[in-house]
């Protein structure tokens, strides 16, 4: 696991080693073990390495036999041994024992399409000096990030935006549409970035730069159309267990200590179970909990730790964890408002004290339908189909006339939201389900100047385009596929990558193995979701392996579930002062009256605005670090 960066130019100017060194310095937390820079002609690639595989000879960049091809890799290639054997049989000679060098030789065999041969999590950059060609590629699911900026025949790239912005030629003008999308969904969706001159390479995609010309192709996309025909449940269950065991074994390849994030839920529990089977020593497990017991999964985590005899470590999140916000914002580099970044940051710090690599349970919900919104979406669709059109319209109109007050989970609030959704088409319904601030909320919040700057909001198209591109047949498959292409790579995987790499910790996700995900996508939806039951096929597959108490227990999120109460208590002064500071209100984005209304309504208990307020809080702290003073604070901070 590492951080990579580089620059290529077609104007004949050399890539500056000093610039590459600055980019590397901004990535040092991702790879503190070694730095490698290779510059020739108008190209330069660089890396900060976290040594995990091949500790002796694995430093990068690596080269092919005649050094005409150089490569830097962020991530891990799990099938590198098989690839090496195949390439050696074809006459290729290797100088290292690591997982990066096969990429150079695969390029000689397959050209820019080589990523199809890789099984792993990765973002790599390859420079072909003979053809003056740069090839940059991301893994299928989007575990490893890649930012880039192209202008006037030049292209710069980096694993994190803070490193990319070390290039003084990149404009710091903000992308108003990206910020509008952030305020809708709590993250900036790819390919957008917070800065207008910066883009993100999408998952499963390869970018090729050749003498100033850029092409981008997507080499993989998860499909949902091809379903198992009349599947036998016992065979499906056995195949799921086989794929999970194989995925975990692949991710245990390392020359450094390993552990696992244990939340106490189904997904992380099965990762612990599979690791315990494959390990000759007790697995090291790491858990985060909350002092509010109704939100904490520590008891379940302890149950799994005891069941599988792990070496268990725990930490309880307290309100003073918010003191981490400036540091967290600095690492994310863009506005990012998934509040689970705070416990993720803390569990990564705890874990890194003991191990260098940690497995986790990410991906189970998106493959096997584990979120409550899937249940709600299916129920709403079935109800909408049963109701005559005029009745749906009347119910929706009545819902729009009501205001949501108090706890969002109150029956009257849930009924009001359902009424509003009934009048919408399924993709529009799901878009609003995923939105923290809906269209009306953003319209009330934005100043007229900011609305003019945004123009037509791009936020709706993030979900609507993904829905239209979905290959599945029913509403559940559509929701799953939309999440795999938006929420999963742009929120969840960003959260874990940044939180873990901030502490030089490599995070691996067995349930995001593409072979497991491809099989799960073929399983009929009725085997995953029935009534209010979620993840049915996965629960049944794990029965007898994982305790029933875990399989049948309620799902708890990993966010800060009590942040709304904290805003009314310990953090009341902090959020009020931050959001009503003259500097914040004077930026011109938001109507001060609406900011005050959101705060007053939340503090009084009239409504729960914890999500919008957290989103605004993270946005303002990001402004302070990355926009004020030209971003000097973020650039100077470690």
Chain CA centroid to CA 342, Å: 14
Residue 111 dihedral angles phi and psi, to the nearest 5°: 70, -155
Select from 2.40.50.700, 3.40.50.620, 3.40.50.720, 3.30.56.10 the CATH code of 233-310+334-369+484-551: 3.40.50.620
pLDDT at 296 over 80: no
Q: Which of 313-322, 514-523, 571-580, 613-622 has the lowest mean pLDDT?
A: 313-322
Q: Which of 104-108, 173-177, 343-347 has the lowest mean pLDDT?
A: 343-347
CA angle in degrees (0–180, nearest 5) for 477-482-484:
95
Work out the average pLDDT over 458-486. Answer: 97
Q: How far is CA 362 from CA 93, 265, 308, 354, 485, in A?
A: 37, 11, 20, 21, 15
Q: What percent of the chain has pLDDT over 70?
A: 96
CATH code, 2-218: 3.60.20.10
Candidates 190, 256, 296, 286; CA nearest to 561 is 296
pTM confidence score: 0.94
Residue 407: pLDDT band by 50, 70, 90 thresholds? Answer: low
- Confirm whether 2-218 and 233-310+334-369+484-551 share one CATH topology: no
- Domain chopping of the chain, boundaries: 2-218, 233-310+334-369+484-551, 372-479, 563-636
What does the pLDDT read at residue 546?
Answer: 97
What does the pLDDT read at residue 403?
Answer: 72
What does the pLDDT read at residue 558?
Answer: 60
Q: Which of 23-32, 256-265, 318-327, 418-427 has the lowest mean pLDDT?
A: 318-327
pLDDT at 637 over 60: no
What does the pLDDT read at residue 424?
Answer: 87
Mean residue pLDDT of the chain comes to 93
Number of CB atoms found within 10 A of residue 56's CB: 10
What does the pLDDT read at residue 265?
Answer: 93
Q: Give pLDDT tens digits for 488-533.
A: 999 999 999 999 999 999 999 999 999 999 999 999 999 999 989 9
Work out the average pLDDT over 203-210. Answer: 97
Query: For the chain, how far is it from start to end, CA to CA, in angstroms?
Result: 19
């Amino acid at each position: 696991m590492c951080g990579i960066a580089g620059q290529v130019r077609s104007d004949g100017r050399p890539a500056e080693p000093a610039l590459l060194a600055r980019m590397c310095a901004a990535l040092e937390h991702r790879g503190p073990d070694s730095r490698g820079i290779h510059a020739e002609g108008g190209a330069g690639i660089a890396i900060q390495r976290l040594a995990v595989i091949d500790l002796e000879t694995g430093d990068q960049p690596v080269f092919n036999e005649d050094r005409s091809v150089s490569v830097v890799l962020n991530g891990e290639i799990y099938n590198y041994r098989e690839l090496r054997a195949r390439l050696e049989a074809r006459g290729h000679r290797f100088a290292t024992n690591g997982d990066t060098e096969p990429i150079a030789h695969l390029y000689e065999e397959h050209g820019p399409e080589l990523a199809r041969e890789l099984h792993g999590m990765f973002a790599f950059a390859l420079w072909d000096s003979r053809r003056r060609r740069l090839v940059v590629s991301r893994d299928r699911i989007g575990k490893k990030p890649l930012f880039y900026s192209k202008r006037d025949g030049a292209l710069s790239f980096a694993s994190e935006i803070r490193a990319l912005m070390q290039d003084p030629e990149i404009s710091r003008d903000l992308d108003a549409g990206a910020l509008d999308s952030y305020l809708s969904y709590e993250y900036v969706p790819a390919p957008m970035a917070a800065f207008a001159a910066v883009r993100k390479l999408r998952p499963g995609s390869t970018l090729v730069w050749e003498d100033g010309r850029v092409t981008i192709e997507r080499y993989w996309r998860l499909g949902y159309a091809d379903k198992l025909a009349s599947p036998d449940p016992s065979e499906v269950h056995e195949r799921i267990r086989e794929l999970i065991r194989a995925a975990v074994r692949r991710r245990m390849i390392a020359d450094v200590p390993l552990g696992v994030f244990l939340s106490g839920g189904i997904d992380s529990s099965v990762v612990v179970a599979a690791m315990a089977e494959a390990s000759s020593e007790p697995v090291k497990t790491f858990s985060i909990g909350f002092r509010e017991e109704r939100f904490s999964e520590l008891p379940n985590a302890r149950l799994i730790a005891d069941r599988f005899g792990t070496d268990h470590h725990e930490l309880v999140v307290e309100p003073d964890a918010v003191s981490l916000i400036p540091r967290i914002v600095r690492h994310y580099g863009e506005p990012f408002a998934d509040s689970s970044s705070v416990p993720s940051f803390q569990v990564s710090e705890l874990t890194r004290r003991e191990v260098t690599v940690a497995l986790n349970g990410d991906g189970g919900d998106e493959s096997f339908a584990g979120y409550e919104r899937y249940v709600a979406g299916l129920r709403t669709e079935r109800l909408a189909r049963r109701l005559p059109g005029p009745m749906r319209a009347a119910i929706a109109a009545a819902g729009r006339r009501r205001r949501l007050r108090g706890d969002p989970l109150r029956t009257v609030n849930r009924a009001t939201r359902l009424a509003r959704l009934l009048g919408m088409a399924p993709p529009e319904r799901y878009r609003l389900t995923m939105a923290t601030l809906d269209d009306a909320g953003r319209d009330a919040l934005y100043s007229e100047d900011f609305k003019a700057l945004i123009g037509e909001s791009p936020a709706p198209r993030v979900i609507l385009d993904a829905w239209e591109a979905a290959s599945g047949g029913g509403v559940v498959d559509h929701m799953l596929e939309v999440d795999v292409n938006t929420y999963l790579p742009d929120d969840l995987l960003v959260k874990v990558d940044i939180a873990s790499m901030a502490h030089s910790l490599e995070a691996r996700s067995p349930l995001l193995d593409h072979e497991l995900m491809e099989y799960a996508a073929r399983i009929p939806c009725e085997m995953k979701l029935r009534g209010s039951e979620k993840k049915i096929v996965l629960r049944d597959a794990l029965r007898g392996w994982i305790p029933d108490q875990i399989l049948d227990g309620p799902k708890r999120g990993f966010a800060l579930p009590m942040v709304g109460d904290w805003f009314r208590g310990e953090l009341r002064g902090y959020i009020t002062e931050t959001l009503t500071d003259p500097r914040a209100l004077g930026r011109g984005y938001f109507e001060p009256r609406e900011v005050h209304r959101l705060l007053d309504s939340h503090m009084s208990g009239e409504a729960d605005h914890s999500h919008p307020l957290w989103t605004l809080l993270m946005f303002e702290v990001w402004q302070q670090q990355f926009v004020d003073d030209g971003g000097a604070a973020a650039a100077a901070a470690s």
